[in-house]
Amino acid sequence: MGKLSGKTAIVTGASRGIGQAIAALFAAQGAQVVCAARTLSEGGHMLEGSLERTVAQIEDAGGAAVAMVADISDPAQCLALVEQTRAAYGPVDILVNNAALNYYVPTVDYKINRWVKAFAINVHAPFILAQAVLGDMTGGRGGAIVNIGSGAAIGPGRGPYEDQQVRGGVMYGATKAAVERFTQGLAQEVSQHGNIAISCVSPSRVVPTPGTIYHKLVTGMDDPRGEKPIMMARAALLLASEPAQSVNGRVTYSQQILKEYGWIEDAVGRGVDTAGTGYSQI
């Protein structure tokens, strides 16, 4: 019996990177996983990865998953995703808000339509999806919502600024800060139920993915400075499977929460970032 046997989970941004790793691990732990993203087939995006590949890997390993194409910047498609999940697998037990968008452009040059779309995916969609699935979790069923954050939520603080290099991360950091505040506010609202956990976890280091490689945040999938995607997958699994009262409202980092619960040995083959904090830009 896996930790998620009999559970139905939605994972957004499941075509590559952290989302792909989370979907695969959740399925390996017994969940029926709805893998959601915009890229159905290889070649449909400039980055490597697709829903078809994620689902094939899960099914090859004996798990249950289905691909659902959704542009979650559109509220109607968010709601349709939840309804299609119920039609496929029944009520939703777990939601992982992983999908995110950033263009790494200085604020003065940021196109308004891109700024608005990034907020739609990074902030508005987690709210819309959470609101839509909470009806399945209340009334005694329980459940978990895991939001994927970033160390970018922590700003540079008050000046003067010795480092004046422009990296174009203002929008992304602002959205991830919003996600952290949304997480704890929603956690307080659902605490009356006692069996619903709302949490947020960020990588302790940059996770090598097709996206972080493209943005030159890491040199490649084997960059020794990076944190393997399995770390985030294990942390998300912990937050989705531990008793709600012990993790509700947690805003944490992957290695921090894994070490706290004694899961770190199974998740990483190298030293632990004992500070429990770090940085991630995507």
Q: Which are the catalytic amino acids? A: 172
Q: What is the DSSP letter of 120?
A: I
Beta bridge partners of 33: 9, 65
**CA distances, 57 to each of 45, 64, 181 (Å):** 19, 10, 34
- Whole-angstrom Cα distance, residue 274 to residue 254? 11
Question: How far is Cα 239 from Cα 226, in angstroms, rounded to an integer?
Answer: 22
Which two structure tokens, joined as six digits, stand for 231?
């770390």
- Report the alpha-carbon distance of residue 205 to residue 277 in Å, rounded: 8
CA distance 94 to 2: 15
User: Using the 8-state DSSP alphabet, how is residue 91 labeled?
Assistant: S
Distances (CA, A) of 55 to 42, 58, 106, 152, 278: 12, 5, 36, 30, 31
Cα–Cα distance, 1 to 54 (Å, whole number): 22
Distance between CA atoms of 111 and 29, rounded to whole angstroms? 42
Q: Which two tokens stand for residue 122?
A: 């990074």
